């Protein structure tokens, strides 16, 4: 609503969407305002459709069309890898916006978003695969310190939103999906050669899908957390205006 003062009278004038957009803060504030308007449901649907397409194409590549190299879910250079990395970068960026707007500031969120950025970088240029080949040690063991820091940061974020059931549920669900994906990656190399040959493709396809699903859930959690921060900030500004 706006106020139009005419001849000593105060007239309440409804604001249009253009007027509302014009009142958004410039620079970073404008970016946060725009990001906060992105519905989590839209993020989930768009990402879910993309993941479904990638999984179908990846499955066809493994069972019928091996020449579809760009669709190979097990490749370090494929559409799925690029999408997964972009999804993690987006998730890290959204949590950065949450960290900037959250009041009081949460140290856990300031640790959480760089961890996600590291995972995005790793996914994009295959750091853990390179380390595994170089060292001869499973990357899961090499990354135990990173996983430990991530777990502590994640728990801090969960505690930060312990009064927000939806955000906590999303954080727990995302972590659970990632954990299952990690377990499946270990299972892929389990047993003798005949066993690995039998379980490798189903385990690998499911693992890659779950990795992207987990990232999507964490992104949806970030959209909910950002919306909460913006609403809280608006409530503070409203109280200041009244005083």
Are 81 and 170 in the same domain? yes
Per-residue pLDDT tens digits for 17-65: 343 343 344 345 788 888 889 999 999 999 999 999 999 999 999 999 9
Asked, for residue 33, whether it belongs to a domain, the answer is: no
Is residue 226 within 8 A of residue 91, CB to CB? The reply is no
Range of the domain at 223: 38-242
- One digit per residue, the tens of pLDDT, for the chain of length 243 reads 444 444 444 343 443 434 334 334 434 578 888 888 999 999 999 999 999 999 999 999 999 999 999 999 999 889 999 999 999 999 999 999 999 999 888 999 999 999 999 999 999 998 988 998 899 888 888 999 999 999 999 999 999 999 999 999 999 999 999 999 999 988 876 655 655 667 888 999 999 999 999 999 999 999 999 999 988 765 444 444 455
Calculate the alpha carbon distances from 243 to 10, 44, 236, 237, 239 in Å. 20, 40, 11, 10, 6
Is residue 73 within 8 A of residue 204, CB to CB? The reply is yes
Q: How far apart are CA 128 and CA 133, in angstroms?
A: 9
Are 56 and 148 in the same domain? yes
Are 59 and 84 in the same domain? yes
Are 97 and 20 in the same domain? no
pTM: 0.83
Asked, for residue 32, whether it belongs to a domain, the answer is: no
Per-residue pLDDT tens digits for 115-134: 999 999 999 998 988 998 89
Is residue 120 within 8 A of residue 92, CB to CB? The reply is yes
Are 91 and 184 in the same domain? yes
Are 5 and 117 in the same domain? no
Are 109 and 18 in the same domain? no
Asked, for residue 111, whether it belongs to a domain, the answer is: yes
Task: Classify the phi-psi angles of 67: left when phi > 0, otherwise alpha if psi is within -120 to 50, otherwise beta.
Answer: alpha
Are 9 and 125 in the same domain? no
Quote the number of domains for the chain.
2
Task: Classify the phi-psi angles of 191: left when phi > 0, otherwise alpha if psi is within -120 to 50, otherwise beta.
Answer: left
Asked, for residue 215, whether it belongs to a domain, the answer is: yes
Are 221 and 101 in the same domain? yes
Q: How far apart are CA 5 and CA 20, in angstroms?
A: 19
Asked, for residue 15, whether it belongs to a domain, the answer is: yes
Are 123 and 192 in the same domain? yes
Are 207 and 96 in the same domain? yes
Question: What is the reported pLDDT for 86?
Answer: 97
Are 140 and 222 in the same domain? yes
Question: What is the reported pLDDT for 84?
Answer: 97
């Amino acid at each position: 609503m706006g106020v139009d003062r005419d001849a000593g009278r105060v007239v309440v004038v409804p604001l249009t969407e253009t007027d509302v957009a014009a009142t958004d803060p410039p620079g970073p504030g404008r970016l946060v305002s725009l990001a906060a308007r992105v519905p989590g449901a839209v993020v989930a649907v768009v990402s879910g459709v993309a993941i479904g397409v990638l999984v179908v194409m990846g499955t066809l590549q493994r069972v019928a069309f091996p020449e579809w190299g760009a669709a190979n879910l097990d490749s370090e250079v494929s559409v799925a890898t690029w999408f997964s990395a972009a999804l993690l970068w987006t998730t890290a960026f959204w949590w950065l916006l949450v960290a900037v707007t959250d009041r009081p500031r949460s140290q856990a969120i300031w640790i959480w978003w760089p961890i996600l950025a590291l995972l995005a970088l790793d996914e994009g240029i295959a750091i853990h695969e390179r380390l595994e080949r170089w060292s001869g040690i499973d990357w899961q063991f090499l990354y135990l310190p990173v996983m430990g820091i991530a777990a502590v940061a994640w728990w801090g974020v969960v505690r930060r939103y312990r009064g927000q059931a939806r955000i906590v549920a999303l954080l727990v669900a995302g972590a659970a999906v990632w954990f299952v994906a990690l377990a499946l990656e270990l299972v892929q190399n389990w047993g003798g050669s005949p066993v690995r040959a039998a379980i490798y493709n189903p385990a690998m396809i499911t693992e890659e899908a779950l990795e992207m699903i987990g990232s999507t859930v964490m992104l949806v959690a970030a959209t909910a957390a950002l919306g909460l921060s913006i609403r809280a900030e608006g409530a503070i500004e409203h109280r200041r205006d009244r005083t």
